[in-house]
Amino acid sequence: MSPRDPDAAARDVLGGIERLAQAAAYTVVVTVDVFADGMRYDEGTEAWRRAIARVNAGVAALADRAVEVVCGIPVWMKGEGPTR
């Protein structure tokens, strides 16, 4: 994989997460919304941001549950949150 190939990097990262999830009883992935800042960057940076977004989407697709935390408030995107 070339360090300049965001698509290959995204595939490798997602593949690694899939292997980890298969080997572990529980897997927690914490990531960031790379588009939350609302900024535009040069094309190279944008390509990497899109690759990270693909990894995030791939992780959510694999997951039983997915949650976005907004200002400390969990917003369940997939599955159900814990009940009190």
| Whole-number Å distance between alpha carbons of 16 and 62 | 12
Got the DSSP string for 12-44? HHHHHHHHHHHHSS--------TTTT-----HH
For the chain, what percentages of helix, strand and coil (3-state, to nearest 5) are there? 45, 15, 40
**pLDDT tens for each residue of 24-50:** 999 999 998 888 898 999 999 999 999
**pLDDT tens for each residue of 59-84:** 999 999 999 999 999 999 999 888 76
Q: Say what the pTM is.
A: 0.84
